[in-house]
């Protein structure tokens, strides 16, 4: 089959640093290739995937400007209309409106949501004649919140487990880790509080959001607490650095203050054998298996207790569980199986 993967402009595929959705597209592209399919990608201009044909939809630079997003829409429409009979599957991770020119075309179309689902756009699209259109969300929780379960299938995200090395046993004084964008909703300030309450070392890794309110959050609530002894900030890291830091850590802390749609970092941690301790929000219960790959908690006191007892979780079993559920081979086949049914 010939498959087209689509993403908004801004972050190239694969991303060098931040870019969870772009990384997912890269893994799917490589897996579809390995299964013998011809793969094209419509994405940001700096994208480059060996073995794939890449078409530009816009310039690199995140976040993209309104002008860039408007141009991307027109370019996507022109490209898809011109090539409307070229692809067997168009797998879209970008804007739903990209699919307008081929809505009623026989091409099988997957619209995959990795962020909050906008029901307004779906209601508009459904007023147009359409066929072979499949919706997916990266977690059951994400779909349930949108109250659109009848049209959606939940297909989780995945990682390349070969990029993350298992550390079977870490040191007694192993640090805790916080990994993710430094934004209030991610709970970095709470992670620091937990580290201090339990007298543990904490490594903080991640990019600082460019939003003014989040820059202020980092400068006023996070930066003053960084002493590079107990609380250490290492900035944004690549996959190799992630693997090393997660591997030496006792646990990954996820004190989130929002309904995380998925949280790929949780799988990355488990792939290194490092359990996850997380608040019971969003997709956490779909990713973390209590007592096997981590602990699900409801308040700070439970969080602190989990930190002090997390070493009882078997790190080899932690990785094995995650591998069986979130390997890219398994996830890619779920997408292909989805479009094999009920197409007309």
Same domain membership, residue 119 and residue 222: no
| CA gap 78, 254 in Å, rounded | 42
Asked if omega into 120 is within 30° of 0 (cis), the reply is: no
Closest CA to 246 of 273, 223, 207, 224: 273
**List of residues 6+ apart from 227 with CB closer than 8 A:** none
Q: What is the CATH number of the domain that holds 270?
A: 3.40.50.2000
Q: Based on the fold, state whether residues 153 and 191 are members of the same structural domain.
A: no
The DSSP line for 92-143 is: E-S-GGGGGGGTTSSSEEEEEESS---HHHHHHHTTS---SEEEEESSHHHH
- Write down the pLDDT at residue 200: 97
Q: In the prediction, which pLDDT does 239 show?
A: 85
Do 54 and 142 belong together in one domain?
yes
Domain that holds residue 268: 162-325
Per-residue confidence (pLDDT) for residue 149, from 0 to 100: 65
Are 254 and 114 in the same domain? no
- Say if residue 258 is in the same domain as residue 332: no
Q: How far apart are CA 166 and CA 175, in angstroms?
A: 16
Q: Are residues 24 and 146 in the same domain?
A: yes
Is 270 strand, coil or helix? helix
- Show the tokens assigned to 17: 């640093």
Q: Rg (Cα) of the chain, in Å, rounded?
A: 21
Domains identified in the chain, total number = 2
Residues 321 and 332 occupy one common structural domain: no
Residues 110 and 175 in one domain: no
State whether 59 and 205 are in the same domain. no
Assess whether 31 and 108 both reside in one domain: yes
205 strand-pairing partners: 179, 235
Which residues, listed in sequence order, are joined to residue 135 by a DSSP beta bridge? 111, 152
Quick one: DSSP state of residue 218? I
CA distance 65 to 234: 29
> What residues are paired with 43 via a beta bridge?
56
230 neighbors 290 (Cβ within 8 angstroms): no
Are residues 62 and 191 part of one domain? no
Is the same domain home to 55 and 131?
A: yes
Spell out the residues 6+ positions from residue 143 whose beta carbon is closer than 8 angstroms to its own: 117, 137, 149, 152, 154
For the entire predicted model, the pTM comes to: 0.90
Q: What pLDDT is stored for residue 341 in this prediction?
A: 66
Task: State the pLDDT at residue 81.
Answer: 96
Residues of the chain under the 70 pLDDT cut: 149, 341-344
């Amino acid at each position: 089959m010939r498959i087209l993967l689509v993403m908004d402009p801004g972050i190239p595929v694969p991303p060098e640093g931040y870019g969870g959705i772009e990384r997912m597209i890269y893994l799917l592209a490589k897996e579809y290739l390995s299964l013998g399919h011809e793969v094209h990608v419509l994405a940001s201009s700096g994208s480059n995937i060996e073995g794939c044909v890449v078409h530009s939809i816009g310039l690199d630079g995140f976040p993209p400007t309104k002008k860039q997003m408007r141009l991307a829409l027109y370019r996507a429409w022109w490209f898809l209309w011109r090539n409307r009979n070229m692809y067997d599957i168009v797998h879209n991770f970008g804007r739903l409106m990209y699919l307008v020119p081929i809505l009623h075309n026989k091409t099988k179309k997957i619209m995959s949501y990795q962020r909050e689902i906008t029901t307004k756009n779906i209601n508009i699209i459904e007023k147009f004649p359409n066929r072979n259109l499949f919706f997916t969300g990266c977690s059951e929780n994400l779909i349930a919140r949108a109250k659109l379960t009848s049209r959606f299938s939940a297909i989780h995200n995945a990682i390349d487990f070969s990029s993350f090395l298992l550390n079977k046993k870490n040191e007694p004084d192993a640090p805790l880790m916080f990994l993710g964008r430094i934004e209030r909703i991610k709970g970095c300030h709470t992670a620091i509080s937990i580290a201090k309450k339990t007298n543990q070392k904490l490594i903080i890794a991640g990019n600082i959001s460019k939003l003014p309110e989040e820059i202020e959050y980092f400068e006023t609530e996070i930066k003053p607490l960084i002493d590079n002894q107990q609380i250490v900030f290492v900035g944004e890291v690549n996959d190799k650095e992630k693997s090393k830091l997660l591997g030496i850590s006792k646990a990954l802390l996820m004190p989130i203050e929002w309904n995380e749609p998925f949280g790929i970092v949780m799988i990355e941690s488990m792939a290194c054998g490092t359990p996850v301790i997380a608040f019971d929000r969003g997709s956490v219960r779909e990713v973390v298996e209590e007592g096997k790959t981590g602990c699900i908690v409801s308040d700070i006191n439970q969080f602190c207790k989990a930190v002090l007892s997390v070493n009882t979780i078997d790190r080899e079993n932690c990785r094995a569980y995650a591998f069986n559920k979130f390997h890219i081979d398994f996830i890619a086949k779920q997408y292909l199986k989805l479009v094999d049914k009920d197409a007309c």
